[in-house]
Structure 1
Amino acid sequence: MIKVIASDMDGTLLGDDHKPAPETLAAVNRACDAGIRFMIATGRNFPGAMAELKDSGLVCDYIVGSGAEVRNPQQQVVAVNPISMELCREIYKEVKNYPLSVTFCTDGDDYKIGTPEEIEESLMLQMHLFFSNLPREELVRTETYQRIIKSTKTVADMDELEAAKVPVYKLFLYSEDKEMLDELKMRLEKNKDIAVASSFPTNLEITDVKAQKGPVLKEYIESLGYTMDEVMVLGDSLNDLSMIEMNFGATVAMANADSEVKSAAKYITKSNTEFGVAYAIDELLKHQRTENE
């Protein structure tokens, strides 16, 4: 019997407006009323996750930063898996050989190396991940852009980043040049101390090898007394693959998921714009009611 549901956010729990639909929240509440524990498992950091969930009324556990931080329903940090500064320097040395802007994601603000002008331009490019059809003058007025620009700090170099004494959870890279990203990914994957995944075809996300959604979720649910066969996971992108390819009780890919994620999943639900999480939850609840009769 499924006792825990863990869901990705972007492309999964959230619609294309990056908000959880009322239909989805209602289904999550039905699951919680049935005694199921709900968890978020996202590449966002905690402030980034809460920016979209703050008005949802959800009370849940949080696996954020792709597994770099875990919080309980009281929003207390219970586990962290940051990237050491030594490893950050090693990764950055490799990455800076490419024409890429690097975002160092932390438990709060993000950090970028470069001039304010360079960073503003890189953020504009990055915004196309969320609002691909908006012209520049409208992009800068969006709530998402305003939040990102306010939470992004400029540093001159790695020494200044180290002096800030912040835990680096993830390095985020963006480029429209997918061939270049593929080449860089192959080079980075030679380093067995890191994990390289992506939320979109045009980005890479680099974490400590211990900070992956699947293994972190397994360790956390077992610490709470659950077993893997009591867990359902939902996701759509390659940074969800570490959950989907593990032997949890039910592994569910969205209809809009990456083909590799779909191939690894035990089940396929509807797309995020068709309330696929709600559909999967209701099918689960129906199945478990039938089993109990």
Structure 2
Amino acid sequence: MIKMIAIDLDGTLLNEENQVSKENLEAIKYAQTHGIEVVIATGRAHFDVQEIFKHTNIKPWIIAANGATIYQPNGERFHAQSINKQVALDILSWLEEEAFYYEVFSDHAIVTPQNGRELLTIEMDRAASANPELSVNELKRALEKQYSQFGFSFIESYTDLLDTDMGFYNILAFSFDEAKLSKGWAKFEGTQDLTIVKSAKHNFELEHKNASKGIALNILANKLKVNIDETAAVGDSFNDLSMLKIAGKSAAMGNAQQEIKDCCHEVTLSNKENGVAHFIYSLTKEVKK
């Protein structure tokens, strides 16, 4: 019997309008009333998740920043694993030298450079000019999705953070330049104290080596005295793999890439078709038609 389910947000629980559908909300409430602990497991910041659920009367456990933090339903932090400050500053220094847009997930804000959005607009125009077949609307939607997060705080440079005591939980780098992304991945892949993952086509994300959705799911299962075999997980992207691989029951979204689908026990419907709701009801053998 499944006692806990971890649900990714972007491309999974959220539809293409970056909203949680009525059907998915009803399914989450259904799961909770049937004794299943619902956990939102996302690369987003915990306060962003809280904003999304603010008017729903749903207060789930939150695995945030790709597993670097875990927050209780009452909003209190239960667990955190930050990147060493000097390591984080060195990363940000390199990203600025290479003209990357970046986001730093901290305790109370998503810190990002003041000129970051201008950099991405320039990259988008260059990408469109270099490849006329490229869908500009698709690129614009990617930006809208990135900017839709709650809690941005703008800085002039990473040097503004030299004297801060904030936690550096997740660093996201975003670019429309594939060569630049590949250079960034090569720069940080294999770094001893870091984990690097992709959560979308145009980014890579860095966390402490002991931070992942899978590690956090295991920590939370132990906290709630739930056997890992009694957990379920659903997601669509590569930053979900760590939890999809250890959960007792895993589902890839219909919109996930084939590599993600191949790692899961089953494939549910897409995020356009309320795939999360379909998976939840299937877990209780009461799939709604």
Question: TM-score range, shorter-chain basis?
Answer: 0.7 to 0.9
Conserved? CA contact 1:111–1:161, under 8 Å:
no
Matches within 5 A, 1:75-224: 75-113=75-113, 116=114, 118-122=115-119, 133=137, 145=147, 151-158=152-159, 160-224=160-224
Distance in 1 (CA, whole Å) between partners of 2:153 and 2:142 is 16
Give the C-alpha shift of residue 233 in structure 1: 0.3
Give the C-alpha shift of residue 144 in structure 1: 8.0
Is the deviation greater in 42-51 or in 228-237? 42-51
Conserved? CA contact 1:104–1:171, under 8 Å:
yes
TM-score by length of 1: 0.85
Residue of structure 2 equivalent to 1:282: 281
Conserved? CA contact 2:93–2:158, under 8 Å:
no
Residue of structure 2 equivalent to 1:39: 39
Q: Which runs of 5+ in 1 are unaligned?
A: 289-293
SS in 2 for 1:164: coil
SS in 1 for 2:169: strand
Residue of structure 1 equivalent to 2:263: 264
Distance in 2 (CA, whole Å) between partners of 1:213 and 1:243 is 5
- State the number of aligned residues: 278
Q: Which runs of 5+ in 2 are unaligned?
A: 126-135
Deviations 1:105-137 (A, max 9, x none): 212222234xx4x23414657999xxx73998x
Give the C-alpha shift of residue 66 in structure 1: 0.8
SS in 2 for 1:32: helix
TM-score by length of 2: 0.86
Give the C-alpha shift of residue 157 in structure 1: 3.6
Distance in 1 (CA, whole Å) between partners of 2:209 and 2:139 is 37
Distance in 2 (CA, whole Å) between partners of 1:200 and 1:139 is 9
Identity of aligned residues (%): 28
Q: What's the RMSD between the two structures over aligned residues?
A: 2.9
SS in 1 for 2:284: helix
Residue of structure 1 equivalent to 2:250: 251
Distance in 2 (CA, whole Å) between partners of 1:172 and 1:34 is 36
Residue of structure 1 equivalent to 2:8: 8
SS in 2 for 1:56: coil
